[in-house]
Amino acid sequence: MLVSYNWLKDFLDLDGQDPYELAEEITRSGVEIPDRIHPMDGLKKLVVGHVLDCEGVEGTHLHLTHVDVGEDEPLQIVCGAPNVAAGEDVIVALHGARIAGNEKIKKGKIRGMESYGMICGLQEIGFSDSVVPEKYADGIYVFSEDAEVKPGQDIYEALGMDDYILNFDITPNRADTLGMEGAAYEVGAIIDQKPKVEEKVVLKEDGPAWTDSLDAKIDEKLAPKFYLRKLENVKIQDSPLWLQRRLWNAGIRPINNVVDVTNYVMLLTGQPMHAYDAKTFANGKFEVRLANKGEKLTLLNEKEVELDPNDIIITDGEKPVMMAGVMGGLNSEITSETTDVILESAIFDPALVRKAALRHANRTEASSRYEKGVNWDATEKAINMAALLLRNDANATVDEGILKATDQKREPVVVKTTASYINKVLGTKLSVDEIVKIFDRLCFKVDVDGDNLAVHVPNRRWDISIPADLVEEVGRLYGYDNLESTQPVLPETHGGYSEKEEMMRRMKAIVEGQGLMEAISYSLTSPEKATRYTKDPKDLVEVQSPLNSSRSAMRENLMTGLVDAASYNFARKQTQLALFEQGRTYDHEGGTFNEHEHLAALYSGNTFAENWQHLTQKVDFYFVKGQLTNLFAAIGIDLDKVVYKAEGIQGMHPTRTAGIYIDKQYVGMIGMVAHAVTLSDKALRGSELYGYEIDLDIIIPMLTKGVTAVPAPKFPAIQRDLSLLVDKPVTNQEIENVIESNAGKYLVDLKVIDVYEGSHIVAGKKSISYNLTFLNRKDTLTDDVVNNAMDKVVAALENDLAIKVR
């Protein structure tokens, strides 16, 4: 809500209050004011001018005018606006003036004619298009007679530009300040002044009693309070300038006196109002109900909407004439022909109004107030105030009586608390008197009984209902600045991570130390990507209304995010990648929502950055496997238990991918991203991406904590090499299994030292060489023992796998 500082002066004595300092105080104690606007800032030498004469310049759209600007001689000004005419009071930018956008106005020649200034439209002096009255939208502004301006005087006061406009950026609980009276109570409490707010409107009803002439059928659930008034012989015209400037300073465009009054009363009281042409209800029926399916309504903004069965509507007994609380219908609009007006002041169901506004993408000043609630006590005052203003400004006859179609009462609440509770929560030592004084600033009556307080909260503060709400009122008005800054005095607590979290952090540190950069990807992806790179995909978790189809399902793997990242980087010529992500994957297996902590890595390019020595290698399966092996070793996984099985996984290279098993349990996968994936992505075409993904929820429980030290060996180890000629399909794993199960207990290490396939070897064969390390920790090992072991190994290899030693 844009709160006018000048308007606030109707309620409060603000002499000596700097508007900006006041705004800071309000921000710290009540409602945030992020912007403060002083419309005349940056403007200079703008005065009222009286157009003495005005002639069209032949062959142009220009006019040559002479304008009295309060100086000895009138100024000659060339003006291009279509609506300039003799006798008008206008805005003149003199030579040397500054107008909006810091533009400078100088005298000059236009088509050879001297022009000593410029006649301005409102936009040119900084008004927003959205508030300029329609008739001045495409021309200059012309002061109305009631402006009572004189040539030569500054324009700022007449147009309300000397005002300070404080933008109350309210939180939803403080909708009580969405009216000037509410704002005045709030500012009054902050600066310790009682605002002058009139409780009742004195209104003369000259017209006949009318309330029986309309049969109003109102669903009380939809509109618990519903008041109508009738005005006759209304003269539709422009509103007086004072009212217009209050509207435009609040961001609302003046339209005509009837519409303006409804808006003005809303700004004043916070109670949205509506005015119908009384002709609408000529058949004597008036109805508030939910819309029927298929009903349509053309709104004041000329958009036809299909109504929803949850929209509250007003009808003439048959067809809809208004979307209640949101916007009127074109068919009940106030026009220049309108003579009789029905005024409405009502309270509608907040949630239904909010949903209707949202559904039809039509949030209005009215709906945004209704959805947060309105002052239950303002209904009558608002309708009477509107009638009074129209009586004054539109010569209206006010018919006798208010038609109160529904009239639920709401009793003001009394909240009971204690001074000691308030102090305990705030950490203050305020006396009962000090607390009562703060409530008095809010104009809340308090019954005091020792420490006990019974606070009478008026209906205009419907946000307050429990003691904690009172704590807030006392705290903010006492001033959060005045609270001490302390630390909780508590018994010692042991802070830290869970054991699982500790281990995940350690693994992240290790892979980061291996040179991987941490990525964070979106959890939502496409259903296809969500299950790619996943062995045995589970039931997907899909959101009901995704923003788009590429973000509709929760990922079951992290690899997909890393491949997306690779694509993004490749498209930007960044092809040297080493990325990791630690995060969750999600599935709906077994009817429950499951989340798993994973770790994934993705590599592309070279093991070392390109260098002048050409000492680098392309990243390949074995490089990545080595990195993963190092990670396993670093967290204490027994590497002998880790088994890699060639495996087909969707999205991964069919012959370069392995499932990883520890103790026969599947813990993840490693391999190359499939050609099918990289070929279908322009940026990744032809690239080789290698990576792994492991499930930390399975691996972490396998880890043991703590170390029992074993001394370094005291006896020398013996090494033997073994070169084998092997059929190609035989895997290293098969050979190692045979060696390990036949080499006896002194075999402590087994390494592959060479693999050769090529022209020097018989077709269909390959050569693999191993290095075996034997060690007896308790004694010196003899050659005999080792030879014996080697003989057994060689025999077993020949026997089990038909392998010959070379």
Residues within window 165-204 making contact with another protein, judged by CB under 8 A: 171-174
Footprint (CB under 8 A) of another protein, residues 593-612:
593, 595, 607-609, 611-612
Q: What's the CA gap between 641 and 663, in Å, rounded? A: 6
Q: Does 544 bind another protein (CB under 8 A)?
A: yes
Bridge partners of 725? 767, 804
Q: What's the CA gap between 471 and 273, in Å, rounded? A: 34
| Residue 499: CB minimum distance to another protein, A | 12
User: From the list 487, 655, 704, 708, which residue makes contact with another protein (rule: CB under 8 A)?
Assistant: 487
| Residue 473: CB minimum distance to another protein, A | 9
| Residue 622: CB minimum distance to another protein, A | 16
User: From the list 137, 483, 679, 752, which residue makes contact with another protein (rule: CB under 8 A)?
Assistant: 483
Q: Does 591 bind another protein (CB under 8 A)?
A: no
Q: Which stretch binds another protein (CB under 8 A): 379-387, 573-581, 671-679, 716-724?
A: 573-581
Tokens of 766: 């390959």
The alpha-helical segments, DSSP class H, found in 700-744 are: 732-742
Q: Does 501 bind another protein (CB under 8 A)?
A: yes
| Residue 356: CB minimum distance to another protein, A | 13
Task: Compare residues 682 and 745 and give the one whose CB is closer to another protein.
Answer: 682
| Residue 689: CB minimum distance to another protein, A | 14
Binding characters for another protein, 657-676, by CB under 8 A (x = yes): --------------------
Instruction: Answer left, alpha or beta for residue 322, where phi above 0 means left and psi between -120 and 50 means alpha.
Output: beta
User: From the list 2, 6, 19, 27, which residue makes contact with another protein (rule: CB under 8 A)?
Assistant: 27
Footprint (CB under 8 A) of another protein, residues 323-352:
350-351
- Of the candidates 673, 515, 690, 668, which has an alpha carbon nearest to the alpha carbon of residue 602? 690
| Residue 561: CB minimum distance to another protein, A | 8
Task: Compare residues 106 and 505 and give the one whose CB is closer to another protein.
Answer: 505
User: From the list 453, 511, 530, 672, which residue makes contact with another protein (rule: CB under 8 A)?
Assistant: 511
**Three-class secondary structure assignment of 136-174:** HCCCCCECCHHHCCCCCCECCCCCCCCCCEEECECCHHH
* Residues 375/179, Cβ–Cβ less than 8 Å: yes
Q: How many Cα atoms occupy the beta-carbon half-sphere of 233 within 13 Å?
A: 10
Total interface residues for another protein by CB under 8 A: 95
User: From the list 220, 410, 454, 522, which residue makes contact with another protein (rule: CB under 8 A)?
Assistant: 522
User: From the list 331, 521, 557, 678, which residue makes contact with another protein (rule: CB under 8 A)?
Assistant: 521
Integer angstrom CA distances of residue 693 from 497, 621, 641, 669: 24, 13, 18, 6
Torsion of CA 723, 726, 732, 734, to 10 degrees: -120
User: From the list 295, 377, 407, 472, which residue makes contact with another protein (rule: CB under 8 A)?
Assistant: 472
Footprint (CB under 8 A) of another protein, residues 616-635:
616
Q: Does 476 bind another protein (CB under 8 A)?
A: yes
Q: Does 481 bind another protein (CB under 8 A)?
A: yes
Token pair 């399916």 is found at: 293
Bridge partners of 658? 646, 670
Question: Residue 718: which residues within 8 A CB-CB, separation 6 or more?
Answer: 773, 774, 775, 781, 783, 786
Tokens of 191: 């600066």
Footprint (CB under 8 A) of another protein, residues 88-117:
none
Binding characters for another protein, 355-394, by CB under 8 A (x = yes): ---x------------------------------------
C-beta neighbour count of 751 within 10 angstroms: 12
- Of the candidates 165, 381, 387, 390, which has an alpha carbon nearest to the alpha carbon of residue 271? 381
* Residues 420/432, Cβ–Cβ less than 8 Å: no
| Residue 314: CB minimum distance to another protein, A | 22
Q: How many residues does the chain have?
A: 806
| Residue 378: CB minimum distance to another protein, A | 22
Q: Does 496 bind another protein (CB under 8 A)?
A: yes
Buried b or exposed e, range 517-543, using 16+ CB within 10 angstroms: eebebebbbbbebbbbbbbebbebbee
Q: Which stretch binds another protein (CB under 8 A): 30-38, 59-67, 263-271, 632-640?
A: 30-38
| Residue 489: CB minimum distance to another protein, A | 7
Question: Residue 305: which residues within 8 A CB-CB, separation 6 or more?
Answer: 296, 297, 298, 299, 323, 360, 362
Q: What's the CA gap between 100 and 42, in Å, rounded? A: 8
Task: Compare residues 140 and 700 and give the one whose CB is closer to another protein.
Answer: 700
* Residues 183/8, Cβ–Cβ less than 8 Å: yes
Footprint (CB under 8 A) of another protein, residues 273-312:
none
User: From the list 9, 14, 17, 32, which residue makes contact with another protein (rule: CB under 8 A)?
Assistant: 32
Torsion of CA 743, 749, 753, 755, to 10 degrees: 50
Q: Which helix (H) or strand (E) holds 227?
A: strand 225-232
Tokens of 561: 């995010």
Q: What's the CA gap between 702 and 404, in Å, rounded? A: 74
Q: Which stretch binds another protein (CB under 8 A): 10-18, 83-91, 315-323, 493-501?
A: 493-501
User: From the list 77, 342, 382, 524, which residue makes contact with another protein (rule: CB under 8 A)?
Assistant: 524
Q: What's the CA gap between 423 and 336, in Å, rounded? A: 60
User: From the list 59, 294, 450, 488, which residue makes contact with another protein (rule: CB under 8 A)?
Assistant: 488
Task: Compare residues 527 and 583 and give the one whose CB is closer to another protein.
Answer: 583
Task: Compare residues 320 and 475 and give the one whose CB is closer to another protein.
Answer: 475
| Residue 252: CB minimum distance to another protein, A | 24
Integer angstrom CA distances of residue 98 from 14, 92, 101, 288, 795: 30, 11, 8, 53, 103
Q: Does 424 bind another protein (CB under 8 A)?
A: yes
| Residue 422: CB minimum distance to another protein, A | 10
| Residue 513: CB minimum distance to another protein, A | 6
| Residue 451: CB minimum distance to another protein, A | 15
Q: Which stretch binds another protein (CB under 8 A): 150-158, 541-549, 685-693, 711-719?
A: 541-549
User: From the list 55, 198, 449, 568, which residue makes contact with another protein (rule: CB under 8 A)?
Assistant: 568
Q: Does 701 bind another protein (CB under 8 A)?
A: no
Q: Does 551 bind another protein (CB under 8 A)?
A: yes
Torsion of CA 340, 345, 346, 351, to 10 degrees: 100
User: From the list 518, 638, 783, 791, which residue makes contact with another protein (rule: CB under 8 A)?
Assistant: 518
Footprint (CB under 8 A) of another protein, residues 235-274:
none
Q: Does 497 bind another protein (CB under 8 A)?
A: yes
**Computed from CA positions of residues 190, 196, 198, 199, in that sequence, does the dihedral angle turn out positive or negative?**
positive
Angle 432-441/180-191 helices, nearest 10 degrees?
Answer: 150
